[in-house]
Structure 1
Amino acid sequence: MKFFIVDAFTDVPFGGNPAGVVLGDGMDESFMQLFARELGYSETAFVERKSDSSFHVRFFTPNTEVDLCGHATIATFTVLLDKGLVVEGRSYIMKTGAGDIPVHLSNGRIMMEQAPPSLGNLCEKVTELAELLEIEVSSIGGALQPRSVSTGLMDLMVPITSRRALDAINPDMKALAAYQKKYGLDGIHAFTLDATDALACSRNFSPLYGIDEESATGTANGAMTYYLYHYGVLTDFDVDVRCLQGESLNRPSVITTRLTDPMEPRVLVGGTGVVISEGIIRI
């Protein structure tokens, strides 16, 4: 089997969010979990071709399997393009724990359709959340309310009033993991609209799944895009939106999102990736 290390949501090496990608057939689940732990990246994708136009992809963090991962999807199709296993200008189906996800390759960009959006609960205990993030209560909200949203994974959207406040977040990771477990959250996505060259800047935390902070989270930015549509901040369809993440980790990432279908709104998430290493698994 071959494995690859890919920086996703960037077009330069050592930017974006690194992910592992393994190409193979009939991979054992215990092997997948152990190899994901060995690589140590927030997610590793295990890819098996099912037909000319479809792939079965499973995603593992160092300690568990997750249904879907945006940056590891970008990494997967970056590898498939690099190896000539897919071609520019076509669409493919990625079979995942979150269902069959269409992935479109066009204009040098990999765009994945998100699952139908769903709104979760409002966060009514903002003081508790501020204590977990170690910021002032006044730094959360403004005209928006914290609320969980899913376009494949359920993340809590936490609007932050300024870039300065976003940069100041310093979570109690153990307590935040317990908070995730209590409320059934895949992650905490803090973002601010205080940005000059993008719609939003964000930070994403998921200590429950062994990821204290991630430099690019495609699914969470997809959920954020729908959240901003729901609250009237975004109104345009079929327009690419630029979202920034990872600067706090010195791994700048650019995530592109797009609202589609005004009658039944969906979200596309995408970007580019760079293969930085490849090797053979000798077991």
Structure 2
Amino acid sequence: MRDGGGGSPTVVVPDGSFTDEDRRAFPATKGTSHAVFFTVERDRVLLRFFTGEGELPACGHGTVAALAVLAERADVPDYRVTLSAGGREFGGRAVRRAEGFEASFDPGPVTLRDPTAVEGELIASLVPESVGPAVVASVGRPRVLVPVRTRADLDAFTPDLDRIREVCDRLGLLGCYVYTVPDTDGRVAARMFAPSIGVPEDVANANSTACLAAYLSRETLIVDMGDSLSSPATIIATTRPGPDGPRVDVGGIATT
């Protein structure tokens, strides 16, 4: 969300005796891009994420949405929990604010690498307006981060979704995250295209924002997304050193 509105609607469902086909159907049935299913255990909460294309090992805004729902159910002002998703456990937190729940989590270690020569040529064909080197970044699943100069350039960018899907499928990428060179105050705008997982354009993508924060080596990064879809969202990432690479906490404001 941003300024009390917008954001990426996500279905949050107590898991039950659903088939995976049932779970894939939830987003379309509810008019959202993603659904997250949770199971409360004694000392942790299990999360599973689905789009219409299938299950995802991780989903940043789905995690934020789940934390808001769990915090509301717990009815405490400062909710902290251990989450389990994609084969790993990590911490999550949601603090009640006047405008909703300020939720954040640790998406895991970020790995960064330069594209190979072949990858670079293919990626360049996706965003001809790019003004700098692309980077392949991962918090469990790789995606490509590509810079453009200004917000006007980002707004004007018209993606070839068929081409993005073709290239991402060929290279094993989740999607293409296009971002602006940071403003003088360090703020960035971004758009995430992931047709390979059934999401032509994502309103908000927290995991890719965590990747960008690690790549730019910024202690705090504020990223605006969703404006092109008339659903503005703001994601905040804070970065700290870790034993196996940069570690990031990422999140935003969510309402239920």
Give the TM-score category using the shorter length: 0.7 to 0.9
1:155-200 Cα offsets, whole Å, 9 max, x none, are 1010112222212211111111011111111110000125366521
Distance 2:145 2:240 in 1: 21
Which residue, 224, 228, 251 being the options, matches 1:244? 224
Could you tell me which residue of structure 2 aligns to residue 67 of structure 1?
A: 57
1:77-121 Cα offsets, whole Å, 9 max, x none, are 111222236x33342111111521211234642111011111234
Do the aligned residues in 2 keep the contact of 1:216 with 1:245 (CA within 8 Å)? yes
Paired residue type of 1:63? E
Distance 2:248 2:54 in 1: 26
Aligned residues, how many? 250
Q: Which runs of 5+ in 1 are unaligned?
A: 1-8, 276-283
Distance 1:106 1:260 in 2: 21
Q: CA deviation at 1:29?
A: 2.4
Distance 1:11 1:101 in 2: 28
Could you tell me which residue of structure 2 aligns to residue 88 of structure 1?
A: 77
Q: Which runs of 5+ in 2 are unaligned?
A: none
1:206-246 Cα offsets, whole Å, 9 max, x none, are 011111111100001001111111xxxx2x4xxx4311111
Distance 1:54 1:270 in 2: 19
In terms of mean alpha carbon deviation, does 216-225 or 96-105 score higher?
96-105
TM normalised by structure 1 equals 0.80
Distance 2:66 2:96 in 1: 17
Do the aligned residues in 1 keep the contact of 2:154 with 2:179 (CA within 8 Å)? yes
Could you tell me which residue of structure 2 aligns to residue 193 of structure 1?
A: 181
Show the 5 A alignment for 1:173-252.
Answer: 173-195=161-183, 199-229=187-217, 234=218, 236=219, 240-252=220-232
- Fraction of identical pairs, as percent: 26
Q: Say if 1:91 and 1:252 are closer, same or farther in 2 by CA, change over 3 A.
A: same
Computed over aligned residues only, the root mean square deviation of the Cα atoms, in angstroms, reads: 2.2
Paired residue type of 1:161? R
- Residue 149 of structure 2: SS of its match in structure 1? coil
Q: Say if 1:113 and 1:16 are closer, same or farther in 2 by CA, change over 3 A.
A: same
Distance 1:96 1:164 in 2: 37
Could you tell me which residue of structure 2 aligns to residue 279 of structure 1?
A: none
Q: Say if 1:73 and 1:90 are closer, same or farther in 2 by CA, change over 3 A.
A: same
Paired residue type of 1:78? A
Could you tell me which residue of structure 1 aligns to residue 36 of structure 2?
A: 45
TM normalised by structure 2 equals 0.88
Paired residue type of 1:112? F
Do the aligned residues in 1 keep the contact of 2:71 with 2:94 (CA within 8 Å)? no
- Residue 216 of structure 1: SS of its match in structure 2? coil
Distance 1:59 1:206 in 2: 15
Distance 1:185 1:172 in 2: 16
Distance 2:77 2:141 in 1: 28
Do the aligned residues in 2 keep the contact of 1:45 with 1:57 (CA within 8 Å)? yes
Deviating above 6 A after TM superposition, structure 1's stretches of 4 or more consecutive aligned residues are none
Could you tell me which residue of structure 1 aligns to residue 4 of structure 2?
A: 12
- Residue 180 of structure 1: SS of its match in structure 2? helix
Paired residue type of 2:229? L
Which residue, 123, 133, 137 being the options, matches 1:129? 123
Paired residue type of 2:167? Y
Do the aligned residues in 2 keep the contact of 1:102 with 1:112 (CA within 8 Å)? yes
Do the aligned residues in 1 keep the contact of 2:64 with 2:251 (CA within 8 Å)? yes
Could you tell me which residue of structure 2 aligns to residue 102 of structure 1?
A: 91
Do the aligned residues in 2 keep the contact of 1:126 with 1:140 (CA within 8 Å)? no
Could you tell me which residue of structure 1 aligns to residue 246 of structure 2?
A: 265
Do the aligned residues in 2 keep the contact of 1:123 with 1:146 (CA within 8 Å)? no
